[in-house]
Amino acid sequence: MPAMRDLLTHMRDTMRDAPGVGLAAPQVGLGIQLVVIEDRPEYMSGIAPEALAARERSAVEFFALFNPRIVARSDDTSEFFEGCLSVAGFSALVRRSHRVTVEYLDEQAEPQRIEVAGWFARILQHEIDHLGGRLYLDLMETRTFSTIDNLTRHWKDLPAAALRDKLGIADR
């Protein structure tokens, strides 16, 4: 299907140009239930190994999810800074489920089910939120909303609990 391949190429290129690790169709003006994900190894260069381990972050090859829906979430959560291509230049702490199970259709319209944890789970939750009209701003710890520059300068290497303590924010 050439039109679908062209759409996926456009979304992949838009995501990479930003650069980002995920993109939802509504972010490029399309009213369809589609997200693309890719966390490239080069995006992790310059991030301390301890930070990658804490986030459980590793490379994810490009793939598309049509009509994705989260069918299970873990009760355990983690809190990290998130940014978004829709709100470029800003970031805030967001608490998300540590593990999710997602059902979706692949590029051949075949039903798929994946269970992921860590950073990959965070990316999926973030992108699927877009399909429901939600941004990370709706979930963030408001007192942590910051420019990327200020985050990098002041908070980047601080664990969420230490940041909450420093800002006098009660843990939820």
Active site residues: 127
Mark 142-160 as b/e (b = at least 16 C-beta within 10 Å): eebbbeeeebeeebeeeeb
Strand 60-73 vs strand 99-105: parallel, antiparallel, or unpaired?
Answer: antiparallel
In a 13 Å sphere around the CA of 32, the CA atoms on its Cβ side amount to 15
Instruction: Find the Cα–Cα–Cα–Cα dihedral 122, 124, 126, 130, rounded to 10°.
Output: -170
Residue 89 near residue 147 (C-beta atoms within 8 A)? yes
Give the Cα separation of 35 and 44 in Å (integer). 21
Coil, strand or helix at 60: strand
Write down how long the chain is.
172
